[in-house]
Amino acid sequence: MNLALLRHALLALAAAGLGGCATAPAYRKPALDMPAAWQTEAPWRASAPRDGAAKGEWWLRFQDPQLDSLMRQAMGGNQTLAVAQARLTQARSLVASSEAATFPQVNLGARVSRFRISANRPLTNYNSVNFSTVQDDYAATLSVNYEADLAGRVQSTVDGARASAEQSAADLENLRLLVGADLASNYFSLRALDTELDVLSRSIALQRRALELATARHELGASSGLDVAQQQALLDNTLTQVDLLRRQRGLFEHAIATLTGTAAPRFTLGQQSQPMVPPAVPLGLPSDLLERRPDVASAERAMAVANAQIGVANAAFYPSIVLNPALGVDSRTLSRLFDAPSLLWSLGVSATQALFDGGRLDANLRFAKAGYEATVSNYRRVVLTAMQEAEDGISSLAALERAHAQARTAVQSARRVLDLANSRYEGGVSSYLDVITAQQSLLNSERQAAQLLGQRMLTSVFLVKALGGG
């Protein structure tokens, strides 16, 4: 084939490809019907995120140094995060690999051989006798391989790889948010149990003093043995509750160890009872979820990946054109390898067009389009779930704050009832059963207040997670 004929062939193939150039459909995010504001109730008020606050370290809002230290350990030592980071590195490497296909591939080859030609090989000319020869062969070639992306297959592959890497990055951020929220939830659950254990410790001290008083009155003949037995039964029941709470605390402690990348047998978290104050959580607007929540971003990037796959499936209907010129030298002696007579070259183009495939390409295209529709539905589902979780957190926090305030009032009332019952019993006006009932009521009220505070802290973590972080 001479150069003119080759040029005409290339132009014809390019025109055929450009005439039906198949690229991925223009990607557009689906429209969503987002509410203008949240349904809020007291004590919520209009607020906005602080622009100067760190967006990632949302746990700093809780102002707990112990939690901050555990979070740093988790962000650096959690093995699930390490896996996600490796997946992101892989995805970015695939982007670089796919982008390389947009450039020509240049190869340099060399060959050195010594060989013997058979004298009994088939003749190429009956008038010429074959001879056996031994000779050397030295060759060097420079070849280029380049796919003319007339149908957009390579570009669609690159677009899909980029969107997939962005999805992996969003998945990593979402996993950081989930690990942090899981750690904070376990931590505040453990601290709520510490508060309950402190309540039980104070109740046990009170009940021991009451038992001493009942025993002394019984020894003086001022009361019956029933009063002593009833107080002893109440004390034994309270001691049993301590063991049960310590068991629950151990489970939370072990979970925190695993989240921070520490072996559970080597991890301990000292018991402490300290005031816990839920932080103020700026709500923003419902539309902010589309920008703040990493799982929403991941679902949106999944749509972009699926859209690029449609482009790849479309491109399969059009010719695949590959240019592969080569230039080299070949000689039987090394000293003459780079002489002009040793020069060799080739210009080539290959084109492949499917003529009959039994419907495979059509099926692949339908598969890609259906995959895209699935990602659109999943995106809408993720957004709806995000709005549900945020609204659940808003309403729950308001209700829990009111309940906790009422529980603190109930504790104060129970203490007054216990003081009155003790005075009446010591004055001989009422039976010891009233004292025991008042002690149990105070214990229940204090434990309920501690549990409600713990639920407020957990719901604050839930809401922060639902809003996408700090």
- If asked whether residues 60 and 169 sit together in one domain, one would say yes
Residue 369 inside a domain? The answer is yes
The token pair that represents 156 in the structure block: 């669609």
Is the Cβ–Cβ distance between 259 and 179 less than 8 Å? yes
The token pair that represents 16 in the structure block: 């055929």
pLDDT score, position 48: 37
- Please report, as a single letter, which amino acid is at residue 256: I
What does the alpha-carbon distance between residue 172 and residue 88 come to, in Å, rounded to a whole number? 8
Interval 338-370: pLDDT, tens: 988 899 999 989 888 888 888 999 999 999 999
Number of H helices, E strands in the chain: 9, 6
- Please report, as a single letter, which amino acid is at residue 254: H
Residue 97 inside a domain? The answer is yes
Residues 6+ apart with CB under 8 A from 237: none
- If asked whether residues 273 and 390 sit together in one domain, one would say yes
Give the SS3 label for residue 320: strand
What does the alpha-carbon distance between residue 362 and residue 370 come to, in Å, rounded to a whole number? 12
Give the SS3 label for residue 196: helix
Give one DSSP letter per residue of 105-163, joined into a string: EEEEEEEEEEEEE-TTSPPS-TTS----EEEEEEEEEEEEEEEE-TTSHHHHHHHHHHH
What does the alpha-carbon distance between residue 196 and residue 272 come to, in Å, rounded to a whole number? 11
Helix (H) or strand (E) run with residue 182 in it? helix 153-219
- Banded model confidence at residue 377, pLDDT cuts 50, 70, 90: very high
Residues 6+ apart with CB under 8 A from 77: 260, 261, 262
Residues 6+ apart with CB under 8 A from 252: 186, 187, 189, 190, 193
Q: What is the mean pLDDT of residues 158-163?
A: 90
Q: Tokens 């902010």: give the residue.
A: 288
- If asked whether residues 347 and 428 sit together in one domain, one would say no
- If asked whether residues 137 and 278 sit together in one domain, one would say no
- Banded model confidence at residue 436, pLDDT cuts 50, 70, 90: confident
Interval 230-277: pLDDT, tens: 889 988 998 998 999 999 999 999 999 999 999 999 899 888 877 788
| Count of structural domains within the chain | 2
Residue 42 pLDDT more than 70?
no
- If asked whether residues 397 and 458 sit together in one domain, one would say yes
Choose between 15 and 75: higher pLDDT: 75
- If asked whether residues 347 and 378 sit together in one domain, one would say no
* 296 exposure class (CB count in 10 Å sphere: 0-12, 13-18, 19+): buried
- If asked whether residues 345 and 305 sit together in one domain, one would say no
- Boundary-marking domain end, from 304, 333, 352: 352
- Please report, as a single letter, which amino acid is at residue 343: L
- If asked whether residues 265 and 305 sit together in one domain, one would say yes
* 63 exposure class (CB count in 10 Å sphere: 0-12, 13-18, 19+): exposed
Residue 7 inside a domain? The answer is no
Strands 326-331 and 105-117: unpaired
Is the Cβ–Cβ distance between 314 and 151 less than 8 Å? yes
Residue 347 inside a domain? The answer is yes
- If asked whether residues 329 and 278 sit together in one domain, one would say no
pLDDT score, position 444: 87
Residues 6+ apart with CB under 8 A from 316: 153, 354, 361, 364, 365
Q: Radius of gyration (Cα) for the chain, nearest Å?
A: 39
User: For residue 442, what are the domain limits?
Assistant: 22-102+150-318+359-466
CA-based nearest residue to 259, from 136, 32, 82: 82
- If asked whether residues 415 and 287 sit together in one domain, one would say yes
- If asked whether residues 35 and 138 sit together in one domain, one would say no
Give the SS3 label for residue 27: coil
Residue 20 pLDDT more than 80?
no
Residue 14 inside a domain? The answer is no
For residue 294, say if its preceding peptide bond is cis, omega within 30 degrees of 0.
Answer: no
Q: What is the CATH number of the domain that holds 111?
A: 2.20.200.10
Helix axes 153-219, 432-466, angle to 10 degrees: 170
What does the alpha-carbon distance between residue 104 and residue 318 come to, in Å, rounded to a whole number? 20
- Please report, as a single letter, which amino acid is at residue 3: L
- Boundary-marking domain end, from 352, 377, 402: 352
Question: Percentage of the chain surpassing pLDDT 90?
Answer: 33
- Boundary-marking domain end, from 304, 332, 352: 352
Give one DSSP letter per residue of 365-417, joined into a string: HHHHHHHHHHHHHHHHHHHHHHHHHHHHHHHHHHHHHHHHHHHHHHHHHHHHH
Which range among 111-120, 242-251, 424-433 shows the weakest confidence by mean pLDDT? 424-433
Interval 200-213: pLDDT, tens: 888 888 888 888 88
- If asked whether residues 281 and 398 sit together in one domain, one would say yes
Is the Cβ–Cβ distance between 178 and 465 less than 8 Å? yes
CA-based nearest residue to 130, from 138, 122, 139: 122
Q: What is the CATH number of the domain that holds 81?
A: 1.20.1600.10
**The Cα angle at residue 205 between residues 203 and 210, in degrees rounded to 5:** 90
Is the Cβ–Cβ distance between 385 and 296 less than 8 Å? no
Residue 13 inside a domain? The answer is no
pLDDT score, position 10: 44
Residue 11 inside a domain? The answer is no
CA-based nearest residue to 245, from 177, 195, 186: 195
Backbone angles phi, psi at 352, to 5 degrees: -125, 130
Residue 10 inside a domain? The answer is no
For the chain, the maximum distance between any two Cα atoms, rounded to a whole number of angstroms, is 142
| DSSP tag of 37 | S
